[in-house]
Amino acid sequence: SRSSAASDVYKRQITMRSTAYTSDPAENGGYSTTAMGTAIRYGVAAVDPRVIPLGTRLYIEGYGYARAEDTGGAIKGNRIDLVFGSKSQSNNWGRRTVRVTILN
């Protein structure tokens, strides 16, 4: 018998196209804070709030835990933009398709 606990934790998974950015205001239209007013830092994801509401906790394969705290002009539909601590990490991530698990 399957445990219902797993379905409670993993509400749903979405396959998304991901990109990466850093907290450098030059990459963020001059901003140093997210759409929610928090600091742009590792663990922040920019999303389309019609797909993933702001404040949602996420798990992104290959990245780890994140929270949907930011938005972006190019982030529409099943797109997610993840913050990395350095330009080299961001460049290494590049563009990739990832599975995103909605945690809450």
pLDDT above 70: residue 90 = yes
Q: What is the pLDDT of residues 27-81, one digit of tens each?
A: 888 889 999 999 999 999 999 999 999 999 999 999 999 999 999 988 999 999 9
pLDDT at 59: 97
pLDDT score for 11 = 67
CA distance 100 to 11: 11
Is the model's pLDDT at 3 over the cut of 50?
no
Q: Which residues of 67-85 are buried (b: 16+ CB within 10 A; e: fewer)?
A: bbbbbbeebeebbbbbbbe
Cross-strand pairs, 46: 70, 81
Q: What is the pTM of this model?
A: 0.87
